[in-house]
Structure 1
């Protein structure tokens, strides 16, 4: 790719996606007859467009669309692009995209009603993020209570709330470690360096194995998204990483993820929780070792039940092959 995916400018990033879409469209057009299944994933919406739109229909090829984010609603909630003018067109493209797909896979049950409303008879399958068997490991944390935040600090994440939580955890003298990347990561790092915090630590990008190893050393995995109906009803990978590592999760999410965490008692989810409510939830786990241990044991059970790839791939394969 010639254009930088992580560019600060939203328009530069759109340019990156357009370049990628052009190359994917050319590949699909040239080689789709050689495959039985084409599986395309979002939230990079340009890839489904390139795969489905203006492509000659090949009956022998099953086209599967995986939805990891509701679009264009999520783009609107980012508030970085002027989508209101084109909203009717974008919603038409969304509906057309679902219709073009033969089958739809979702990583969040909260998406099912939205999709079936647009395409009532479309087969929809729930496939959450998952752990491979060789990624599964559990460790007891050290005596120093620690909170971990891993992943993107971009336009969908609640940057201001992350700053507030960091300030509060510093005052509480709770160690807060962040592995950060994304559009707002440099700004967040500069802020932490400027404030010269003693309990807040920023790390650069790491491999998945390195991230999982570090998560297991912590007492809480934190996940924060912007307080919009779209973002608060997603199932972030960092939530699954916490559950899969046997680490209690604290989040401001609602919907399916909120119920998943609270009903299975693997952490504390406070829908649209304020910074103080999030920190209070962290302190609640810090001050109640029995609660933390219960969350850890429940997370191990939930992992085996829902989030092992070796189990889930069998169900996915069956879904794709079923005519």
Structure 2
């Protein structure tokens, strides 16, 4: 008997970033299983702005492009993704309402499982309605601890509304049948909110088999890369300092970034004439991995708020996928991942000079870099390949 699954998510192909790529991989790999049929309920791509998705180059996965009957995209009014908190909340409520209406149209499909991805938390509320409509079991996929991450970026701290959010967070965890996390750092927090033990499955991000870099091509020019969001959680001021110092040392620095701080970073480049720093426009995952592959080291940053010590950023796994060792200003889960697998070096996020000194040391130590690259390849292939890890989710459904 075929098991029918509905994935509910705001982020889905071709949306750039690890969230959209994660949900695409789950969609494809579950559909590849015998006895499974998987559909998606998502929004039209809009992050970081809707207009960029008029570029056909971003729709580069023909296998997904052919699955139009399985993908329901809800139109949204916002042409740009606003960072103003109240605008963002209205945006999320609109998505919740539109998802709610669409679920009634999909009632005839009689889904056995709903897999809903959070944040935002509001989509989960519409999934609760869907579970009742379909008589389905609910798999809650947690990609971020919310509202703690909201407080961590200091975007919003209204005490009354935060109390409401915390109440909804607790209800969300307690009403799920299964919980899937992409970072082990989330588990203790979630368990503390539960009133009884329930299955929590660790399903990390990672590469598909065909994305693995087996032979790193060496080039003459030494280069460093930052790939990922330029937002409130990533401590862009420290990234600016890194850019200036690398430029002063005549080291090429590629920035493959997007997000609300991108224009601020571009202004720094113009005003300081940082000719060794090259910023790239958002592009497909395939092209992004190719840029990372051609870099010698990867930079990662998160700000010092405690909630971010639980996060395992997708960029760190992308660096390891491309055999690009990491120099990072992170702590907690991400720091443990890098140091325990010897795939790079970790510093306090404000230790900019120490990070630069390590980069200069590695620039002149090919043997050490080669060893770090091998560790990246070994770690990613043995623990983070999607085709291997998807079995954890298949086991739940079957």
Q: Return the TM-score normalized by structure 2.
A: 0.76
- What runs of 5+ residues in structure 2 fail to find an aligned partner? 1-75
- Can you list the C-alpha shifts for 1:102-138, whole angstroms capped at 9, x where unaligned? 1100010011111111114121000110211121224
**Residue 141 to residue 20, structure 1, CA distance change in 2 (3 Å):** farther
Alignment of 1:20 with 2:91, yes or no, is no
Count residues with an aligned counterpart: 320
In structure 2, the partner of 1:65 is 140
- Can you list the C-alpha shifts for 1:87-114, whole angstroms capped at 9, x where unaligned? 3222111100101111100010011111
Q: Using the alignment, how far apart are the partners of 2:121 and 2:113 within structure 1?
A: 19
Q: Which moved more, 1:19-28 or 1:5-14?
A: 5-14
**Residue 5 to residue 316, structure 1, CA distance change in 2 (3 Å):** farther
2:300 touches 2:316 (CA, 8 Å); kept in 1?
yes
Post-superposition shift, 1:5? 4.7
In structure 1, the partner of 2:170 is 95
Q: Which moved more, 1:312-321 or 1:67-76?
A: 312-321
- Aligned pairs (5 A) from 1:171-320: 171-320=248-397
Q: Secondary structure at the match of 1:49?
A: helix
Q: CA RMSD in A?
A: 1.9
1:29 touches 1:56 (CA, 8 Å); kept in 2?
no
Q: Which moved more, 1:70-79 or 1:224-233?
A: 224-233
Post-superposition shift, 1:209? 0.4
Q: Secondary structure at the match of 1:298?
A: helix
In structure 2, the partner of 1:116 is 191
Q: Which moved more, 1:76-85 or 1:105-114?
A: 76-85
Q: Using the alignment, how far apart are the partners of 2:286 and 2:340 within structure 1?
A: 29
Q: Return the TM-score normalized by structure 1.
A: 0.93
- What runs of 5+ residues in structure 1 fail to find an aligned partner? none
2:116 touches 2:127 (CA, 8 Å); kept in 1?
yes
2:251 touches 2:276 (CA, 8 Å); kept in 1?
yes
- Can you list the C-alpha shifts for 1:3-60, whole angstroms capped at 9, x where unaligned? 13523534333332222222122223543562111111122222223212x5563684
1:258 touches 1:271 (CA, 8 Å); kept in 2?
no
1:65 touches 1:105 (CA, 8 Å); kept in 2?
yes
Alignment of 1:141 with 2:218, yes or no, is yes
**Residue 13 to residue 166, structure 1, CA distance change in 2 (3 Å):** same
Q: Secondary structure at the match of 1:268?
A: strand
Post-superposition shift, 1:320? 3.5
2:99 touches 2:126 (CA, 8 Å); kept in 1?
yes
**Residue 278 to residue 4, structure 1, CA distance change in 2 (3 Å):** farther
2:234 touches 2:301 (CA, 8 Å); kept in 1?
yes
2:206 touches 2:386 (CA, 8 Å); kept in 1?
yes
Q: Which moved more, 1:22-31 or 1:161-170?
A: 22-31
